[in-house]
Amino acid sequence: MAFLCLLAYLLVALPCANAAGWIYSVDGEPEWGYGGGSGSPFNWVTTFPDFCSGQRQSPINIDTETAKEVSFNFLNLQGFCSQDRPRHASLRVENNGHSVELHIHGDFFINEGGLPGKQYKVEQLHYHWGNPNAKGSEHAINGRKFDAEMHFVTYDTNYTSITEAKNHVDGVAVFAAMLQVGVNPHFEGSTLDEFISGLPSLGHKGDSYTLPKSQLKDLRGFLPDNIDWFYRYRGSFTTPHCDEHVIWSVWEQPIVIPQSKMNIFYNLYANNATDATQVRLMDNYRPLQEVNGRAILHSHRNNW
């Protein structure tokens, strides 16, 4: 199926104001955010000490020279392309005040690729970005940051929900794709192009809409063309409570998007005000964390 999906993708889809200081509270929990003040990421370790002060935090800088080469099985995607898309699926995208998040409902799975669990169900994807003058990826590769970063969040189907899974070691697998501004002749009309082009209607916190089925060509279009080369390590969520039960896979190949599309992210707002008190949703990335001797693996392919 993975081959058919790839083949179908090649045939059909290829090319298939500073936010400083904004904070929020969910269900009475301590406020947190990305700017200064009490909600600053530098205060998460004291506000959420159970995990945010741990030794296996994310994001990290990935040193490719010291990464260990490993030959994993190919990642196997189920439901990602138009031929095997689940009959009952819906996708709802929301500006939640700290990102734009696509909630994915349906039988979409990622398997293999050296993941310890048998099957990982797709839950959501969201983005982190910087500002017009600064790059906003969370991870860095050899010290290099990218313009933005997409997180594709999945959980082990041994558990009934991501809420349960994140309490268990290896319960969650997050796949990260870097976004890099540049020239991409295949971008126009792609799945990602259509998705980002719709984001202006999510201008303020709380705005949401359901993607029309006609817009969703396939989930594969949110991922890099090459998903076989990635870096793998054990880390945490990059937002409170920073639970350390995440298997990270950081794809090596960035997704190249036009500057005009990147600018759409910079024009979103982190609150729902429409007057002078509105705050730009920018710089929603956590600073790099210490590696603390963790193993970083690199998926190695020498058979093609």
Residue 191 sits at φ, ψ, to 5 deg, of -55, -45
Q: What is the CA radius of gyration of the chain?
A: 18
CB 177 within 8 A of CB 125: no
Of 85 and 151, CB closest to Zn ion:
151
Cα–Cα distance list, 288 to 222, 226, 271, 285, 296 (Å):
24, 25, 26, 9, 15
Query: Three-class SS of residue 197?
Result: helix
Of 123 and 207, CB closest to Zn ion:
123
Minimum distance of Zn ion from residue 237's CB (angstroms) = 7
> Which member of 88, 98, 105, 300 is catalytic?
98
Minimum distance of Zn ion from residue 285's CB (angstroms) = 8
Of 9 and 175, CB closest to Zn ion:
175
Q: Which x/- pattern, by CB under 5 A, does the window 123-162 give for Zn ion?
A: ----------------------------x-----------
Of 108 and 129, CB closest to Zn ion:
129
Q: Which two tokens stand for residue 272?
A: 């729902």
Of 59 and 113, CB closest to Zn ion:
59
Cβ neighbours for 301, distance < 8 A, ≥ 6 positions apart: 71, 228, 229
- Annotated active-site residue 88? The verdict is no
Q: Which two tokens stand for residue 169?
A: 């070691």
Minimum distance of Zn ion from residue 219's CB (angstroms) = 17
Query: Three-class SS of residue 94?
Result: strand
Minimum distance of Zn ion from residue 225's CB (angstroms) = 22
Task: Report the residue number whose CB is nearest to Zn ion.
Answer: 151
Cβ neighbours for 98, distance < 8 A, ≥ 6 positions apart: 24, 33, 34, 239, 270, 281, 284
Minimum distance of Zn ion from residue 41's CB (angstroms) = 13
Question: Measured between alpha carbons, how far is 40 from 286 in angstroms, rounded to an integer?
Answer: 9
Provide the residue type at 146 as one letter.
Answer: F
Residues serving a catalytic function are 98
Q: Which parts of this chain interact with Zn ion (CB under 5 A)?
A: 151
